[in-house]
Amino acid sequence: MAPEETITEPRQTPPAESIARMRARIDEIDAAIIALWRERAELSRQVGAVRLAEGGTRLVLSRETEILRRFRAGIGGSDGTQLGLLVLRAGRGRL
């Protein structure tokens, strides 16, 4: 008769544990980005409402250009531009 084998649950290997920790941190960062995105969009809407109430225009092209430059420089190239455009649209809506 063969000796009885003990079945144990597989243990996470150190790389798997490390990946799990990194993914948890990514999830935390994603939550922070979402919260900041919503806050920024609301502030942008408020700025637009004040501008309109004061007889100004809804958009200030020079400000939008400045924001796009900042995203392009901070993130790099067309990805920065695309992200900047999405951020702007979240606050002011589509043109």
Average pLDDT over residues 5-14: 69
Long-range contacts of 40-49 (CB under 8 A, 24+ apart): 40/87, 40/90, 40/91, 41/90, 41/91, 42/91, 43/91, 44/88, 44/90, 44/91, 44/92, 45/91, 45/92, 47/91, 48/91, 48/92
Q: Which CATH number fits domain 21-92: 1.20.59.10, 3.40.605.10, 1.10.10.10, 2.40.50.100?
A: 1.20.59.10
Q: Which pLDDT belongs to residue 93?
A: 84
Q: Which pLDDT belongs to residue 11?
A: 67
Q: Are 90 and 41 in contact (CB under 8 A)?
A: yes
Average pLDDT over residues 4-25: 81
User: Would you place residue 7 in the very low, low, confident or very high pLDDT band (cuts 50, 70, 90)?
Assistant: confident
Average pLDDT over residues 62-85: 96
**Residue 62 clears pLDDT 80, i.e. is over it:** yes
pTM to 2 decimals? 0.76
Average pLDDT of the chain is 91
Q: Which pLDDT belongs to residue 55?
A: 96
Question: How many helices (H) and strands (E) in the chain?
Answer: 3, 0
CB atoms inside a 10 Å sphere around CB 80? 17
Q: Which pLDDT belongs to residue 95?
A: 74
Q: Which pLDDT belongs to residue 94?
A: 79
